[in-house]
A and B are shown apart, each in its own frame.
Chain A
Amino acid sequence: MTAKFANYVARDTESHGMPLRYAYPPYPVGWVSREVLRGYVDGNDPITGKPLIQEMVDALIHPLTDEEKNPQIAKRPKRPRLLKKDTVENYKRMFIENGWTDGMPIELPTEERVAEMLTGTDHPPDEVLGMMSVTTHEERYEYTVEKVAVNAVMAGARPEHFPVILALAAGQEPSMPSSTTSFGRMVIVNGPIRKQIAINCGAGAFSPFNFANSVIGRAYTLMSFNFGNARINENFTATFGNVTNYNNMFAGENEEESPWEPLHVEKGFKPEESTVSLFRGWNINHLGMGTGGQMGTSNRMIDAMNGLQSIIPGGTFVLDPLAAKHLKELEGFKTKGDFRQWLLARIKKPQEAFRLRVPATISLVVVGGEWNPMFTTTDFVHTQTVSIDQWIPKRGIRFDENPIRMPSPVTCKDGSCWL
């Protein structure tokens, strides 16, 4: 491991009860010359101050210590359900200083508020939903329906949002996996619940103009702090971080204006089912402009995807409905599948998944308000689609008496903006 990760490794070793032997070259080993790397090999481990290569040799020939032969796993104690009593002012400070929030104001999760949130599902509060970690190897933290409700309250959500938040938790996938590369996230909802709880699928869907999009997307990241145990500079190593994690590009697919079958139907769900789909990647190029010429939009999409620097093969195009209609009606792509195969045959990426034309490599999602035939190009890959319906109460979504709604986005219904 490089020296930058010495603390990370120490924490990992303690957690696993497996004191592997490490030697730490300076950081970074990537993007440096061979001469620099030779200097690392001939030099000292910056953590221990000892010759690096001798440490590596010694690690192979020095006998195991008693501690190494009898490793112990550090047990973290169970956490009490309630926090110690304190003032409102102190609680607000405590939640921020303990790293339980994104730093913005929260609703304190009192028993009354959490009980109200729990009316948004029939599932019992003590039902275990799963486990999560922002790393691939650290201890996962287990969470119940009630714990999800606590984080939903903190995010400012209402009971009508709770089924979607439960579905996100059921995915057991943190919104921001730990990586120096700084993962971004996109969340897309399909099915009837989009309209029922007023999720924005149209104009400005990724902008902060919608209550449901904001609070549900925020709840996802609060759960990643508190269930995924994200700790900056300890187990969370993103160099830049990623601005998408504030609400995780939460939006709905504009099924009503899309000329193609919805995303969740592609994934095997029925049109009348509600689902939430997760996408993970890094790069977003928002300004992709289609054209009216033959194959103009599709060729520009290929150029945009080829221009993204990505590590993992794959990508997702988010299309304004006008761009999607253009592709179907003017360029002849009758289905998403037709278009996907056409793209895979032409995108020039070195990764095997593109070369082998694995269908899951490219996703197509229709979002937007029909202002122009534009598209957004991302290197996000679809990771999973989770059912929401199982979390909705049998009597239906639990709405407030007077549900909160922000101003609705303007939509183009008369076709005058179909350029």
Chain B
Amino acid sequence: MAEQDILENVLDPVGQPSGIFGRISDPTSKNTGVVLDPYRQPTQKLTSMEGQLMASRLDTLDGKVVYLVETGFQGAKDFMDQVAEWFSREMPAVKIESRSTQGSIFTDDPALWAEIEEKGDAAIVGVGG
């Protein structure tokens, strides 16, 4: 095959965009013969990720409960501690609840999200990176 030969039968190597996001295990997959490590695989189903919209905003933070959630990345807790100190210093009317997610940085913490939904008015989550 010479460098200047013209070809019209070369295939595209790239996969097709699927419209599906996230690397979540699909329990309905037809893929058999695969052993996954249950200790580290996420179990959330794809369907539970659909249709989520942003929450309405608050009029003010005064008197409100704001959760500061650090997700385990290096330095995140120290950074969130500084954010908490800022609120204490500059906006003392805001009630701050500081939390760390349980497990590793790669695991979900549904119990914490439930707590925030029940007891919190807003949440700041970070720091990623």
Contact = CB atoms under 8 A, between A and B. Distances in A.
Interface string B27-67: 00101111111011000000000001110111111000010
A383 B40 contact: yes
A147 B18 CA distance: 14
Given A31-B74, A37-B82, A89-B4, A132 B15 contact: yes
A64 B54 contact: yes
A85 B74 contact: no
> Taking chain A's interface residues, is the majority helix, strand, or loop, or is none over half, making it mixed?
mixed
Contacts of B8: 82, 85
Interface residues of B, number: 64
Contact of B52 (A18, A28, A85): A18
B6 A85 contact: yes
B17 A82 contact: no
Interface string B113-127: 000000000101011
A371 B77 CA distance: 49
Given A64-B54, A386-B33, A15 B21 contact: yes
Given A25-B79, A57-B91, A62-B57, A130 B31 contact: yes
B22 interface: yes
A100 B127 contact: no
B75 A28 contact: yes
Contacts, number: 238
Interface of B: 1-23, 29, 31-37, 39-40, 52-54, 56-61, 66, 73-76, 78-79, 81-83, 85-86, 90-91, 104, 106, 122, 124, 126-129
> Taking chain B's interface residues, is the majority helix, strand, or loop, or is none over half, making it mixed?
loop
A79 interface: yes
A81 B52 CA distance: 34
Interface residues of A, number: 102
B75 A154 contact: no
A27 B73 CA distance: 12
Contacts of A83: 10-12
A41 B127 CA distance: 12
Q: Which of B13, B18, B20, B32 has most chain A Cβ within 10 Å?
A: B13
A114 B13 CA distance: 11
A365 to B, nearest CB: 15
B21 A141 contact: no
Contacts of A75: 17, 19
